[in-house]
Structure 1
């Protein structure tokens, strides 16, 4: 019944059971005297007065126009807007209270025994914690992306959703990330196209995900994560600060990578992609496979780019391309 759903909706907005029942009765009977509708729902005296006052205070009920002894529902838009804002404020206050309580607990725990700084997560528990991390980000995500990859079927979808929420994403990929079968086209380039800030380095020491300034997810090492399926959740403190510093240092050293983005002037998108893979240290064989061209064609395109930039070595080619803003 429609009015049953209305009652549930009002309760979710903070309206009490008595007031919600009275409002439903008014939808069925109004205009009607308050005493009559009270009899119908089994409320009298102070209980009825309190329920009606709650509805009038919320902007949901009032005297019926032209019938001074009757009451009726009133247009609810303004009242519902106020109720929605009140509930949002209450939820924000609850969030602050819970976070504050946890931070107080964490500081007290650290002061006593230093525990709680690092949590070890293994096996099937890793996936849910990673998804929770992406969903909790509010300002910025900083990431080292390197194989092996934990089973996470919709990781790219979560990244794209986070970007749409306005969260800044800075990601450093390694050569193995770009060479991983299908990873470039299916995962990396869609995120870059959606606004991810991407850079590359030949190698990365750990798998790392820093969520705002709140906590970090890190694998002890590439080898151990592959063998044991282990992830650490690091709370703010000395270790967390060291991980953030590690990321920022690597970010300064890494080269920009823009995937298949066609924005640079006077440079074909495929050539920009080629340069990005080359500066990341990807092998010629892997580059040819990613671009779906032969090794001979790859060599000719590299010679053309080197000639355009006056480079005699591939190192010079990468340096000149970065200097000209081609990367």
Structure 2
């Protein structure tokens, strides 16, 4: 837990033991944490350098812990200052990069990555660098990268990054296909299934995309596409496949099942009709005796059901599917 301020596991264990004992010699500490005396002494010396421990003036050979509120507070303040400096440097570098990329040349819009390890590493970097959304098309033909990396996904999800994944139905037949899909659903990822996807594809934050390159050699390769008309086309490709795909559901006993074509219920239709007549969410909630959040949640569900991202698109879709034909 204290790794963020520069302590490794051994140093943290020794410091916690010293805090619990109040004062102790190296032998007592070593016995307490289950380490050799030489390792324990090195850890104590490191704690002394960081201001977390000091030698007792009353009894030579014994160590006392510095008050955590004071000592750890100082380290936290220092760490915050270093992070602020790093953020400032990142902001400056970002502005410099934008200034240079205002008029990028054609060859700067794509980056060719060659080799299995390089492709896998670049794919991992894209996910770890995501700030709000990762969209992926996954085929049932395993190569270097079969889908979003589980560890990277968990880290990204912990930061609030949303995942939307469309997988070919053959993915479910792979040895670990169902297990991986169930794990993705438990991470609250949105997963849909189609018979075939046109290509493997990953789009990150609408700013970068990665697609494989077909090669006559055995060496895998991929291209990373930066903001451009090509990126917009790839994003549009994902959205079109997403709109046609069927959602996966996680049922009892972690059973993954495909949902049939979704359709709104009676309350959904009433909400749609009132919204299309010009009422606000609050007015719809009052008319139907529903909570405002309930109305908003149902509208969001309708948008997901329709595979659209705006309410204007939802209105068009509702008439196209005759949800509100009457």
Which residue is equivalent to 1:208? 201
1:77-113 deviation digits (Å, cap 9, x = unpaired): 44333222211211111222223322322334x1xx3
For the structure 1 residues 196 and 226, does the alpha-carbon distance in structure 2 shift closer, same or farther, using more than 3 Å as the test? farther
Greater C-alpha radius of gyration: 1
Structural RMSD (CA): 3.6
The 2-side partners of 1:87 and 1:241 are apart by 37
Which stretches in structure 2 are left out of the alignment for 5+ residues?
A: 1-41, 58-68, 266-304, 306-326
Which of residues 86, 111, 117 is equivalent to 2:109?
A: 117
Which of residues 165, 170, 179 is equivalent to 1:176?
A: 170
Q: Map residues 103-252 of structure 1 onto 2, 5 A cutoff.
A: 103-108=98-103, 110=104, 113-124=105-116, 125-151=118-144, 155-179=149-173, 181-220=174-213, 224=215, 228-252=219-243
Whether contact under 8 Å (1:138, 1:167) holds in the other structure is yes
**What TM-score, normalized by structure 1, do the two folds share?**
0.55
Q: Which has the higher helix share?
A: 1
Q: Map residues 27-176 of structure 1 onto 2, 5 A cutoff.
A: 75-108=70-103, 110=104, 113-124=105-116, 125-151=118-144, 155-176=149-170
Deviation at 1:2, TM superposition (A): 5.1
Which residue is equivalent to 1:5? 46
Deviation at 1:29, TM superposition (A): 9.8
**What TM-score, normalized by structure 2, do the two folds share?**
0.55
1:25-56 deviation digits (Å, cap 9, x = unpaired): x95699xxxxxxxxxxxxxxxxxxxxxxxxxx
Q: What SS does the aligned partner of 2:160 have?
A: coil
Q: What SS does the aligned partner of 1:142 have?
A: strand
For the structure 1 residues 147 and 232, does the alpha-carbon distance in structure 2 shift closer, same or farther, using more than 3 Å as the test? farther
Deviation at 1:233, TM superposition (A): 0.5
The 2-side partners of 1:123 and 1:172 are apart by 25
Whether contact under 8 Å (1:148, 1:226) holds in the other structure is no
The 1-side partners of 2:114 and 2:251 are apart by 37
Q: What SS does the aligned partner of 1:323 have?
A: coil
Which residue is equivalent to 2:10? none
Deviation at 1:76, TM superposition (A): 3.0
